[in-house]
Amino acid sequence: MSEKILENQSENIKITKNIELTPDLIGNHKQELLNILTEFYTGKCFSEYGLVKSVDPSVKIIDNIISRVNCNIIFYVEFSINVIAVSIGKKYVMQVDKINSKHIIGNIEEKISVLLRTETLKNYIFENDCFRRGKNKIDIGTKLFVQIEKVKYKSIDEIMVIVKYCKILY
């Protein structure tokens, strides 16, 4: 049975959030809300969502109130983000960046750091800074299909995952 391999699949997640704007920004409030959300989320890693690839420009204003503290306007908005939700058991395409005899280091979508322990490579031999098994060769730039075993959110800018090898793609 052949497994269908797709590039890293993303999904949309709907979020509701409060955003406060100063009165001078109200004239173009829809664009300001989108700018704030895009700057806050895009390209960042969140443990509850994963890697946020983009914010959908259709921001829905649910309600708004004037703050009693500073006269700013607080908007209650609903919007969608497009994410790669990293979780144990999911399979992804990684690109190899570095190789040594114990580990292969790579990335998924550039923001997700990947550590592949080479003991998961069955019947591969390490020689000349690459792994070989017959005609198959894993070296820098190779794309591998891998499965997530562990996930660690290092910071808002990076997720670290430990994976096991599934197959060479190209």
Q: Is the dihedral of CA 23, 28, 30, 33 positive or negative?
A: negative
Q: Tell me, what's the pLDDT at 86? A: 86
Q: Tell me, what's the pLDDT at 2? A: 44
Task: Tell me the CATH number for domain 91-168.
Answer: 2.40.50.140
Fold assignment, 11-84: Dna Ligase; domain 1 (3.30.1490)
Q: Tell me, what's the pLDDT at 95? A: 94
User: pLDDT truncated to tens, each residue of the chain (170 aa)?
Assistant: 345 555 567 899 999 999 999 999 888 999 999 999 999 999 999 989 999 999 999 999 999 999 999 989 999 999 999 999 888 888 889 999 999 998 999 999 888 999 998 888 888 999 999 999 988 899 999 999 898 999 998 888 888 888 887 777 65
DSSP-assigned beta bridge partners for residue 155: 158
What residues does each domain of the chain span? 11-84, 91-168
